[in-house]
């Protein structure tokens, strides 16, 4: 387990000091450390039925876009349905609110060297650059001193090791139970960093095994024009219907009747990429009904809470670097993180998450903006309040077709990701960040899950080209000596 840049919503999160300044710079490494087998079903013959499309994809987020691209590359007839007004799902960039790119959801591009979305970025003409490794910590209204940082880092390393050890035991437990009891003055910060900041949940509601098996996220990058902008570029040209929720999938051994908006069409297969919270809320009806096994798996992967409070603050009044990540020595769960001068602009983002973030979001945007002002004032002085030009807060828990941020497995349920990935009758596959066992909570994980589901569906329909076997050259026969 290596916690680093935020996953999913910090989108979306190890272990030695790397001072970039003499006072309070931390290294990000120090700070945060093919499909399953098909169910029994007859193979589907290409072009052998009266379906309107080969693959219907429910949801046009990262998983849906990846699945559609993969299926189209195999010459399959594809149609994407998106309930919202914009493509991208939980990875969307807005430029109207502040006049600069503001990622409403996912922002961190984890492990860019092995990230399939980052690998496609050069083809779009957008700029992807490395996220800085050094970050800032505050103790009240001042920078943390070197001795304080050493104390924090040593306790963070202990917490990492304890969760790793607990996560590899035969019996899973809540990550909170694995933490050392003597984390000192940095305990609340460590609990925030490894819980709400990493996956949107308090550690007592998170599986230690799920955290321990999360892939390394200690190196990250940013897209200057926005991660959502990059995803939208990759979706260009795909057949997508926006503001058209799929409300019912009626399937049998012959195919699927898809009810979307006021229309109905016939599909051979379907890939469902909606969030686990939307799935358990009954946003999509299945006939026959979705199995108890799938519903319980989705419930055990409920989304955490994670929101961005964007603030436009011209002139760098906080005197911070570009993309500087700031944490405080917290005294309790009422805390946050700050990403300053996003991509060198005047935009600053206060990140709120977990139980406190959920409660704050429920109170509405004005309460969220008030908290952000007061929190910044406690760290940088009351004068920063007057430096705030404009503000906007996301509220992903209230988005009707999302209902949260990123998935996190409940204690004892780390295997829920594998269970949810199981296809239904060789007709319906699930995809998204929630079914990726190591890159959960990330755009890269959702993308890979979408590609994996598409390949499984194409294989079941017989639409994947089999590699031709090379014939072995016959050796010349030797003449027998008389």
* Residue 347: CATH number of its domain: 3.90.660.20
What's the CATH code of the domain at 448? Answer: 3.50.50.60
Kindly state whether residues 163 and 131 are assigned to the same domain. yes
For residue 9, being part of any structural domain is answered with no
Q: Identify the domain boundary among 398, 414, 431.
A: 398
Q: Which two tokens stand for residue 187?
A: 């305990």
- Report the pLDDT value the prediction gives residue 141, as an integer from 0 to 100: 96
Which residues form the domain of 61?
Answer: 53-88+235-302+402-460
Kindly state whether residues 196 and 249 are assigned to the same domain. no
Q: Which of 230, 267, 227 is nearest to 246 (CA)?
A: 267
For residue 98, being part of any structural domain is answered with yes
Q: Which of 67, 10, 85 is nearest to 399 (CA)?
A: 85
- Report the pLDDT value the prediction gives residue 471, as an integer from 0 to 100: 63
Q: How far apart are CA 134 and CA 178, in angstroms?
A: 28
- Report the pLDDT value the prediction gives residue 216, as an integer from 0 to 100: 80
Q: Which two tokens stand for residue 174?
A: 């809540």
Q: How far apart are CA 195 and CA 13, in angstroms?
A: 9
Q: How far apart are CA 474 and CA 313, in angstroms?
A: 75
Q: Which of 426, 459, 411 is nearest to 176 (CA)?
A: 411
- Report the pLDDT value the prediction gives residue 36, as an integer from 0 to 100: 35
Work out the number of other CB atoms within 10 angstroms of the CB of residue 154.
16
For residue 159, being part of any structural domain is answered with yes
- 206 touches 196 (CB < 8 A): no
233 burial level (CB within 10 Å; 0-12, 13-18, 19+): middle
For residue 287, being part of any structural domain is answered with yes
- 14 touches 157 (CB < 8 A): yes
Going by the DSSP 8-state scheme, the letter that residue 412 receives in this structure is T
Q: How far apart are CA 367 and CA 405, in angstroms?
A: 19
Q: How far apart are CA 247 and CA 295, in angstroms?
A: 17
For residue 12, being part of any structural domain is answered with no
Q: Which two tokens stand for residue 137?
A: 């910590």
- 401 touches 195 (CB < 8 A): no
- Report the pLDDT value the prediction gives residue 475, as an integer from 0 to 100: 55
* 159-188 burial: b if 16+ Cβ within 10 Å, else e: bbbbbbebbeeeebbbbbebbeeebeebbb
**How many domains would you assign to the chain?**
2
Kindly state whether residues 64 and 166 are assigned to the same domain. no
Q: How far apart are CA 133 and CA 131, in angstroms?
A: 6
For residue 48, being part of any structural domain is answered with no
> Helix or strand or coil: residue 396?
helix
- Report the pLDDT value the prediction gives residue 156, as an integer from 0 to 100: 86
Kindly state whether residues 288 and 208 are assigned to the same domain. no
pTM score:
0.89
- Write out residues in the chain with pLDDT < 50, as ranges: 1-48, 482
- Report the pLDDT value the prediction gives residue 480, as an integer from 0 to 100: 52
- 195 touches 163 (CB < 8 A): no
367 burial level (CB within 10 Å; 0-12, 13-18, 19+): middle
Kindly state whether residues 219 and 324 are assigned to the same domain. yes
- Report the pLDDT value the prediction gives residue 44, as an integer from 0 to 100: 45
φ, ψ for residue 107 (rounded to 5)? Answer: -135, -35
Kindly state whether residues 74 and 96 are assigned to the same domain. no
For residue 295, being part of any structural domain is answered with yes
For residue 83, being part of any structural domain is answered with yes
Q: Identify the domain boundary among 347, 378, 398.
A: 398
Kindly state whether residues 137 and 219 are assigned to the same domain. yes
Kindly state whether residues 77 and 95 are assigned to the same domain. no
Kindly state whether residues 147 and 191 are assigned to the same domain. yes
For 367-391, the pLDDT digits (tens) are: 999 999 999 999 999 999 999 999 9
Q: Which residues in 345-386 belong to E strands, given as ranges?
A: 347-353
Kindly state whether residues 122 and 240 are assigned to the same domain. no
Q: Which two tokens stand for residue 312?
A: 């436009």
Q: Which two tokens stand for residue 386?
A: 């007057």
- 341 touches 321 (CB < 8 A): yes
Evaluated on CA atoms 344, 349, 353, 358, the torsion sign reads negative
Kindly state whether residues 247 and 342 are assigned to the same domain. no
Kindly state whether residues 207 and 266 are assigned to the same domain. no
Q: Identify the domain boundary among 353, 376, 398.
A: 398
Q: Which of 34, 89, 84 is nearest to 65 (CA)?
A: 89
């Amino acid at each position: 387990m290596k916690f680093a840049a935020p996953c999913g919503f910090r989108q979306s999160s190890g272990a030695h000091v790397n001072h970039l300044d003499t006072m309070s710079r931390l290294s990000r490494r120090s700070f945060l450390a093919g499909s399953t087998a098909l169910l029994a079903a007859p193979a589907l013959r290409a072009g052998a039925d009266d379906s309107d499309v080969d693959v219907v994809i429910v949801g046009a987020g990262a998983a849906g876009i990846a699945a559609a691209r993969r299926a189209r590359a195999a010459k399959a007839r594809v149609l994407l349905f998106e309930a919202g007004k914009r493509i991208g799902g939980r990875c969307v960039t807005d430029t109207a609110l502040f006049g600069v790119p503001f990622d409403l959801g996912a922002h961190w591009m984890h492990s860019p060297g092995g990230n399939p979305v980052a690998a496609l970025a050069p083809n779009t003409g957008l700029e992807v650059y490395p996220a800085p490794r050094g970050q800032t910590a505050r103790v009240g209204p001042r920078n943390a001193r070197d001795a304080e940082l050493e104390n924090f880092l040593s306790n963070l390393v202990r917490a990492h090791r304890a969760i790793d050890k607990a996560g590899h035991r035969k019996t899973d437990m809540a990550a909170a139970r694995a933490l050392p009891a003597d984390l000192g003055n940095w305990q609340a910060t460590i609990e925030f960093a490894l819980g709400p900041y990493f996956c949107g949940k308090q550690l007592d509601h998170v599986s230690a095994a799920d955290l321990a098996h999360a892939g390394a996220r200690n190196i990250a990058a940013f897209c200057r024009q926005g991660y959502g902008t990059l995803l939208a570029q990759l979706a260009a040209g795909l057949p997508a219907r926006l503001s058209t929720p799929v409300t019912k999938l009626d399937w049998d051994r012959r195919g699927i009747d898809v009810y979307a908006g006021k229309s109905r069409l016939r599909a051979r297969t379907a890939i469902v990429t909606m969030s686990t919270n939307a799935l358990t809320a009954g946003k999509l009806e299945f006939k026959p009904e979705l199995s108890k096994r799938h519903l319980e798996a989705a419930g055990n992967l409920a989304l955490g809470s994670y929101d961005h409070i964007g603030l436009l603050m011209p002139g760098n009044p906080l005197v911070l670097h570009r993309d500087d990540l700031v944490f405080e020595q917290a005294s309790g769960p009422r805390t946050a993180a700050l990403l300053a001068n996003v991509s060198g602009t005047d935009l600053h983002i206060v990140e709120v998450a977990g139980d406190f973030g959920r409660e704050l979001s429920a109170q509405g945007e004005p309460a969220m903006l008030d908290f952000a002002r007061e929190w910044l004032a406690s760290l940088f002085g009351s004068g920063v309040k007057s430096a705030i030009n404009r503000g906007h807060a996301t509220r992903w828990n209230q988005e009707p077709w999302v209902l949260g941020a990123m998935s996190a497995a409940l204690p004892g349920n780390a295997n829920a990701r594998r269970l949810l990935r199981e296809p239904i009758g060789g007709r319906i596959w699930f995809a998204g960040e929630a079914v990726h066992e190591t890159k959960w909570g990330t755009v890269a994980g959702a993308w890979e899950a979408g590609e994996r589901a598409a390949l499984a569906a194409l294989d079941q329909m017989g639409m994947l080209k089999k590699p031709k076997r090379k014939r072995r050259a016959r050796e010349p026969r030797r003449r027998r000596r008389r």
